[in-house]
Chains A and B, each alone.
Chain A
């Protein structure tokens, strides 16, 4: 059994809202294994994006972090800003949802790709620019030489996301965090970008943490899936297990919200709404919307051990 690249233990993220600390992420634990694609899924506001940001400690100072994010021997959450700068962009890289606004409008594409190489590998700008050219080839941007001198506004959305990927891959990181990388793109471009990420992962043997709310994306690329609801992790497991035998009532309900082609299938939205962060119910946070009931629902359930684990009292011993 290979050891995990990164171990997230009891991670919690709190923000101050109206003078009160609210836990947006409530003690979640998961591992990132070498050379895998881990998808973190959940509806908007479930805390998946801030979870991703906290892996590199990119959240603003106003966020209070608890637990640990072990990367090798080091806990990312207790590193100084100086030490974090060494890790960010070199060993862990991140690409974001909005390719339109995530690139600096006044710097050339070449400079933005070359920057991490200069910062981390000590390359000269001219050497880094040559490497940037290769990276553009890697992300399959045609006419790379010309693109280097262009500005982001001269590129299409899909191109820009490829440039973001090139920036992320520049220093050959061990982990690439992709926060909804395809949400802002056209469907055809989405497929291309996902295929590109998958190919690169296989070629370079890195791990990808993909944050998404799109179960179609998950089915396409994931090796493992972690399902989040209201700041908690409710189920994790291999992608086949999650899709074929979803265990947690929320995962089951989530899968029923995806349209399918067979006539017999009927879409059923999840009833109710995610409770506001200031008024989370005690115990299982899904219980107010859950069809099933267990006498222990008022107590927070823990993820069961094993490769396919679930945090639900009604499934205790079943998964």
Chain B
């Protein structure tokens, strides 16, 4: 197992390397001048030049790239062009918030999506099935920011259950969770639609399998058929969907973090984009790519946990 994980992580190095290169180049060919963005339109030519010199922006791109890679191998993502703080530090500060948001969203996606999918499958073509399928279609078609705003209007302003601004204040665990629920729910609702659909079709497939008939022939009651015999098998495609849409989740987290005014990678990305903070942006891309890679690895490990036929080699 440990050996497998190490192998997998090593094998992602070329992927990461490719992503880094693309990100590095794209940021630099995008229009906009960091010196101008940071120092303002009124800055003197000397000041602009001095800034560019200090940040290495006057060097040829290949030299900048080499410096970037050198830093990376020594574990540094450079320092922010704007604030001067190390990029690892500013990312490290907000990363836990995005992680808890993403996993909270997956949590809601699974605990709502899987039961709905199962109910839909069991009452296939019944009115409940149609109802859930229409709702999930709506969930898919609704933009994430709209769902978030509706949730705030409804649960925060109308019913006053959750805070409008979900910035955790004190460091307490309960406070963290309380402030997490609404953003995670709004982000999770996107997952619900995908998970529900895959749970439904996986369940329908599994319920038609021979081993379900065997379990019925043993006299296993309906509850046990569904939760023990069928669900374990249906989980395999569900795990795939969760892993696959994790990337989508990170993308949508940007909007969620802005709407709920939460610290996080998404907010940091938008901020650094506006400021043309090359170094921070690069660092953020590295971390996002790494997250996706790790989630893929976790997905594969989950397969092996759910399905004994899968061997991690």
Contact = CB atoms under 8 A, between A and B. Distances in A.
Nearest to A111: B228
A199 interface: no
B54 interface: no
The bracket for how many chain A residues form the interface is 20 to 34
Given A58-B213, A106-B307, A153-B308, 10 more contacts: A56-B217, A85-B219, A93-B217, A96-B210, A96-B213, A101-B210, A105-B233, A106-B306, A106-B308, A116-B218
A101 B209 contact: yes
B71 interface: no
Contact of A58 (B216, B221, B232, B307): B216
Contact of B214 (A104, A106, A120): A104
A164 interface: yes
A87 B221 CA distance: 12
A106 B217 contact: no
A104 B211 contact: yes
The bracket for how many chain B residues form the interface is 20 to 34
Interface of A: 56, 58, 81-82, 84-90, 93-94, 96, 98, 101-107, 115-116, 119-120, 151, 153, 164, 167
B219 A119 contact: yes
B222 interface: yes
Contacts, number: 74
Q: Which of B209, B214, B215, B218 has the most CB of A within 10 A?
A: B218
Contacts of B309: 105, 151, 153
Contacts of A94: 217
A103 B214 contact: yes
Nearest to A168: B217
Nearest to A151: B308
B218 A87 contact: no
A87 B306 CA distance: 31
Contacts of A85: 219-221
Given A101-B210, A104-B229, A106-B307, A58 B217 contact: yes
Nearest to B230: A104
22 contacts: A56-B217, A58-B213, A58-B217, A85-B219, A88-B216, A89-B219, A93-B218, A96-B214, A98-B210, A102-B211, A102-B213, A102-B214, A104-B211, A104-B214, A105-B211, A105-B307, A105-B309, A106-B233, A106-B306, A107-B232, A119-B218, A119-B224
Contacts of B219: 84-90, 116, 119-120
